[in-house]
Amino acid sequence: MDLDALYPAGGNHAIQNVAFVIEWQAPLSEADYAELRKVHQEHLRQALPIIETPQVITFNIQPGLAPAMVPQVASGLSLARHRPTATGTVVSCSIQINPQNCLIVVNDYTRWDEIWTNVTEWTNYLLPVILKKERALGGMALQYADGFEWRGNPSEFKAEVLFSPETSYLPSNVFGKSGLWHSHHGFFTDVEIDAGYTQLDNVNVNLGDDPASLRRTVSIVTSHKVTFVQPVWGVEQATAKFQGLMGRLHDSNKAVLKDLLLDAVQEKIKLFGDGKAK
């Protein structure tokens, strides 16, 4: 099948961004945030030079009274690196540290090995502060957002241009349609009986029209969330779990895309093989 009109979001790969999530139970204190700011100053400032404290506005609503706005309060910590473009700047990567979770988002994707090396280094500095004696690792997640643009006649795009007709992750009635559609579903993946966690996967596919270019676009968001049956205590144990399981979640993501996409598309985005982005 001719794929000349199919353009992956990243040129030689389709990844728009990847997100890593770490969750814990007891919220961070102001003292913890002060220590995290010190960690940024000493170890992360070069990689993520921008540091901000998000402000949260809350409202006190009572029956019969006008809503009273409570003054802004600091909540969390945001670290980021920006990249200049022709029209301004965009966020290249960021770390959002909230009271009970940490979200790391990489928008300028290169290769998994390079991205994971950076994330490992950053979390090796952050987790000893976050996962102290009174705080345990409760869960973690990996999410990929992939995108494609069809630059041909929109009516000529069919699901079979991109997706395998034998895929387990799309209903068969999307094939052959020239109109728009979406498919969202989640499922628990089988893991070892004694694994000590559950894994919830989501595969969300949207076929739409870009409002600016009017071109047909495909969005594929795949997420893999681990919830531990028992919280993981201790910085070393929690870090080992995070680093070990994240590699398995990455393998799960590749397995989903291998099932979902045509072989020719997998080759086009270098899902496997030399120069792979995944």
Element (H, E) at 33: helix 30-39
Q: Does the predicted model carry a pTM greater than 0.85?
A: yes
Average of per-residue pLDDT across 166-194: 94
104 forms bridges with which residues in the sheet? 20, 95
69 forms bridges with which residues in the sheet? 59
The pLDDT value recorded for residue 69 is: 52
User: Is the pLDDT confidence value at 74 over 80?
Assistant: no
The residue to which tokens 């170890």 are assigned: 43
Contact 277, 13 (CB under 8 A): yes
Range of the domain at 76: 6-59+66-268
In a domain, 275, yes or no: no
User: Is the pLDDT confidence value at 127 over 80?
Assistant: yes
Q: What does DSSP assign to residue 28?
A: P
What are the tokens at 256?
């989903």
The pLDDT value recorded for residue 126 is: 98
Average of per-residue pLDDT across 95-106: 97
Q: Using alpha carbons, list the distances in angstroms from residue 102 to 76, 78, 130, 204.
A: 9, 10, 9, 23
In a domain, 172, yes or no: yes
CA angle at residue 51 from 47 to 54, to 5 degrees? 140
In a domain, 276, yes or no: no
Q: How far apart are CA 278 and CA 275, in angstroms?
A: 9
In a domain, 24, yes or no: yes
In a domain, 273, yes or no: no
Task: Count up the domains in the chain and report the number.
Answer: 1
The pLDDT value recorded for residue 216 is: 94
In a domain, 262, yes or no: yes
Coil/strand/helix, residue 242: helix
The residue to which tokens 């895309």 are assigned: 257
Q: How far apart are CA 226 and CA 20, in angstroms?
A: 12
The tens digit of pLDDT for each residue in 20-45 reads 999 999 999 999 999 999 999 999 99
Burial of 67 (0-12, 13-18, 19+ CB in 10 A): exposed
Element (H, E) at 219: strand 216-232
In a domain, 196, yes or no: yes
**Could you give the maximum distance between any two Cα atoms of the chain, in Å?**
66
Average of per-residue pLDDT across 49-71: 67
Q: Tell me the residue type at 157.
A: F
In a domain, 260, yes or no: yes
